[in-house]
Amino acid sequence: MAEPNENALMEKIVSLCKRRGFIYQSSEIYGGINGFWDYGPLGAELKRNVKELWWNDMVRQRDDVVGLEATIIMSPQIWKASGHVDTFSDPMCDCLLTKKRFRADQIEPQSGIVYRYQGAFSGDQNTPSPFQLAFERYLKETGHKKIEEINKPLLEGLLTEELKTKENYWQYKGTEKSSVERILSEATRLEEYAVLLPAGKPPESARKLAMKFYEQRGILQPVLLGERTEKIENTTRFNPENGSLLTEPRPFNLMFKTFVGPVESEDNVAYLRPETAQAIFAQFKNVLETSRQKVPFGIAQIGKAFRNEVTPRNYTFRSREFEQMELEFFIKPDEVVEAISGKVASAADVAQTSGLCNSKAGSLCHENWGWGAWHKYWVEERIAFYEGIGLPRNSLVEYWQKPEELAHYARATVDILYKFPFSKRDEKGELMGEELEGIAARSDFDLSQHERFSGKPMGVFDEELRAAWGKLDEAKKTELSKCYYEARLKYLTKTGVVEQAKAEKEAKEDADGLAKGQYIPHVIEPSAGVDRLILALICNAYHEDQMPDEKGKLETRVVLKFHPRVAPIKVAVLPLLKNKPELVKKAREVRDVLRPHMNIFYDDAGAIGRRYRRQDEAGTPFCVTIDFDTLGEKPELKDTVTMRYRDDGRQERLAIGKLLNWLLPKIR
């Protein structure tokens, strides 16, 4: 089931999405399945539009990007090379009482009083165990009146040194000395446990929880041992919902595992891809050889990805099955750019001089761009894309990860955040935003990993580099070789697998390759989530306003103000009355003119005002009404329609003959 909604606005959005057929819970009739969502008729259109706009912008409108459509299940070696098998995990801990699972890094720090217990002893008076009777007698004799006085070391001492040697304590009916250990372990539980209570809350609630904990471990009517209290600040070790201690965090791999073929053995393990990116690296050489591209160029892919998230949350924001739109844009290493162009333009250089000129149309202005310039270029491109589909600039945040946040192979990563209603707020009360997309400069890490794991060369040959290298003076050759050598050595030694001497030899060979025109491309990766973007578009579009109804009375209206480019339905075609054949005939003619070019909705049911409201909730930007003037009641208006604008309810007359050309530029 879905997590509870974080605020009232999200509740309204979730309810609208269900009511209007944007998003449903997967498998709802069976109670749902956490972290999985289905898109209904309007959601499916919205999603399709978003993916097409991305594909058009990133692939079709560019000379330097081509597409790929790879399989979801690939060789498991890919995930070993990428690091996902070893390191793609979240720290996870479980509530010791309820077993509920939490992501350790998402637990809000809490403060209060911790009640610690060393164990518990069975205090069941109705059916005292032989050990209990023996122990109680022993306690009496040794002067310990209350079991609660016993602390763990003392109890352990009693059990191991004294009690066990006093044979007469075990002379009970049916109890043999050999079973002392068993009885002992049944009647006591020396397992530490703790409960966090907010300051001021009575200790009974902690004791109640602790007794439950020991009861679950087989202790009847537990008597708690060794209670201690301690003030604690900002701890994340307790269940925020009930105060119970959590298990220590342990890594939980997020990949969904399956088996290929009929035998469920380790040899047949495969994974559902957790990102679309790796297929692009694995197919890099094939694409290079078959597409007539040369570096710099990109490979784009849209497709499903799967992550067994510990805590799916915030509606579709963190799902277990989702879609990504990823581009791997391969660039020359800076040493290669410098060898060819004489100097490397950084992001700052480019911004100061000509600006980040558009590289879309195959412009040569990026010839001397280094990785920094390319990275900044893609950040700007991606923000422009979001603005172009209706997310205002002030709803987005460009977050540059701090050095300590970067993945070890990344030189820089920018996250584009959207200010969702459920985002956290900063100290000024401003929404901080949640990640829509990450744009990472990933160096040559991925291709190098696949080269090492597959044994297949992933480098490219660049004739321009070979020719330019020959013309460099010796000092420059030495300088650039040294830089390249050091970067390669750093990569090879950082992975920890290659021995120092071997790494030095390999790094030298790689650096020597420059003279032959060979290098491993670096990559800039803009990686976006389709579902998060859909959610951002819906949140951004959601508005409530006041609009007069047919009688002129103001009423609250819910409207989704989608940009026409993403709107699921572009135009609703509405005959004023259903029972006037001439109106219906004309409306169908209009529908048939528009339908080949866009998604339209024909609706003749109900009062026109109610039909408008339905389209407002669906986010349809334009409604076309065919009325009696269309038929020529006022001759000057013959063959015109009413165009009604969703956002402000404004209406104007447009000629049917001009309708298509009027609409097309607005929706593309």
d(CA 67, CA 53): 14
* Pick 224 or 305: Cβ nearer ligand GAP: 305
Is the bond preceding 635 in cis, omega lying within 30 degrees of 0? no
* Pick 112 or 433: Cβ nearer ligand GAP: 433
* Pick 44 or 410: Cβ nearer ligand GAP: 410
- Find all residues with CB under 8 Å of 32, minimum gap 6, and list them: 1, 2, 25, 26
Provide the mask over 324-343, with x wherever binding to ligand GAP is found by CB under 6 A and - wherever it is not.
Answer: x-x-----------------
Which residues within the stretch 437-456 sit at the binding site for ligand GAP (CB under 6 A)? 437-438
* Pick 195 or 280: Cβ nearer ligand GAP: 280
The answer to whether 13 contacts ligand GAP (rule: CB under 6 A) is no
d(CA 255, CA 273): 7
- Determine how many CB atoms are found less than 10 A away from the CB of residue 353: 9
* Pick 277 or 569: Cβ nearer ligand GAP: 277
Which residues within the stretch 288-307 sit at the binding site for ligand GAP (CB under 6 A)? 307
> In the set 45, 90, 309, 335, which binds ligand GAP (CB under 6 A)?
309
Q: What amino acid is encoded at 184 in this protein?
A: L
Residue number, nearest CB to ligand GAP: 529
* Pick 322 or 484: Cβ nearer ligand GAP: 322
SS3 assignment for 319-364: CCEEEEEEEEEEECCHHHHHHHHCCCECHHHHHHCCCCCCCCCCCC
Stretch touching ligand GAP by CB under 6 A, among 320-328, 350-358, 445-453, 569-577: 320-328
* Pick 525 or 603: Cβ nearer ligand GAP: 525
Nearest distance from C-beta of residue 512 to ligand GAP, angstroms:
32
Which residues within the stretch 251-280 sit at the binding site for ligand GAP (CB under 6 A)? 275, 277
Nearest distance from C-beta of residue 448 to ligand GAP, angstroms:
16
- β-pairing, 542-548 vs 554-560, is antiparallel
The b/e string for 55-84 (b: 16+ C-beta within 10 A; e otherwise) is bebbbeebebbbbbeeeeebebebbebbbb
- Find all residues with CB under 8 Å of 412, minimum gap 6, and list them: 372, 375, 400, 401, 406, 440, 441
Largest CA distance in the chain: 117
Nearest distance from C-beta of residue 321 to ligand GAP, angstroms:
8
> In the set 47, 84, 318, 563, which binds ligand GAP (CB under 6 A)?
318
Nearest distance from C-beta of residue 442 to ligand GAP, angstroms:
9
* Pick 303 or 529: Cβ nearer ligand GAP: 529
* Pick 13 or 528: Cβ nearer ligand GAP: 528
CA proximity to 559, closest of 1, 20, 11, 38: 20
Which residues within the stretch 518-557 sit at the binding site for ligand GAP (CB under 6 A)? 525, 527-529, 531-532
What are the CA-CA distances from residue 404 to residues 408, 410, 416, 424, 434 (Å)? 9, 11, 18, 21, 19
* Pick 102 or 469: Cβ nearer ligand GAP: 102
> In the set 52, 94, 124, 435, which binds ligand GAP (CB under 6 A)?
435
* Pick 17 or 587: Cβ nearer ligand GAP: 17
Would you list the DSSP string of 196-252?
EE-TTS-HHHHHHHHHHHHHHTT-SSEEEE--EEEEEEEE-SB-TTT-BBBPPPEEE
Stretch touching ligand GAP by CB under 6 A, among 69-77, 190-198, 322-330, 574-582: 322-330
> In the set 50, 310, 436, 441, which binds ligand GAP (CB under 6 A)?
436
Stretch touching ligand GAP by CB under 6 A, among 111-119, 368-376, 431-439, 637-645: 431-439
Q: End-to-end alpha-carbon separation of the chain, Å?
A: 37
- β-pairing, 65-67 vs 297-306, is parallel
Residue that has been written with the tokens 């202005």 in this structure: 365
Nearest distance from C-beta of residue 5 to ligand GAP, angstroms:
17
Stretch touching ligand GAP by CB under 6 A, among 80-88, 165-173, 429-437, 590-598: 429-437
Nearest distance from C-beta of residue 376 to ligand GAP, angstroms:
18
Packing angle, helices 371-388 and 41-55, rounded to 10: 140
- Determine how many CB atoms are found less than 10 A away from the CB of residue 54: 20
The answer to whether 319 contacts ligand GAP (rule: CB under 6 A) is yes
The answer to whether 322 contacts ligand GAP (rule: CB under 6 A) is yes
* Pick 435 or 545: Cβ nearer ligand GAP: 435
Provide the mask over 345-384, with x wherever binding to ligand GAP is found by CB under 6 A and - wherever it is not.
Answer: ----------------------------------------
Nearest distance from C-beta of residue 384 to ligand GAP, angstroms:
18
> At 110, is the secondary structure helix, strand, or coil?
strand
Nearest distance from C-beta of residue 573 to ligand GAP, angstroms:
35
- β-pairing, 571-575 vs 622-626, is parallel
> At 106, is the secondary structure helix, strand, or coil?
helix
Phi and psi at residue 193, in whole multiples of 5°? -150, 160
Q: What amino acid is encoded at 64 in this protein?
A: D
Nearest distance from C-beta of residue 304 to ligand GAP, angstroms:
11
Size of the site for ligand GAP (CB under 6 A): 19
Nearest distance from C-beta of residue 279 to ligand GAP, angstroms:
11
Phi and psi at residue 370, in whole multiples of 5°? -90, -175
* Pick 147 or 536: Cβ nearer ligand GAP: 536
d(CA 628, CA 615): 22
* 68 within 8 A of 288, measured Cβ to Cβ: no
* Pick 307 or 522: Cβ nearer ligand GAP: 307
**Which parts of this chain interact with ligand GAP (CB under 6 A)?**
275, 277, 307, 309, 318-319, 322, 324, 326, 435-438, 525, 527-529, 531-532
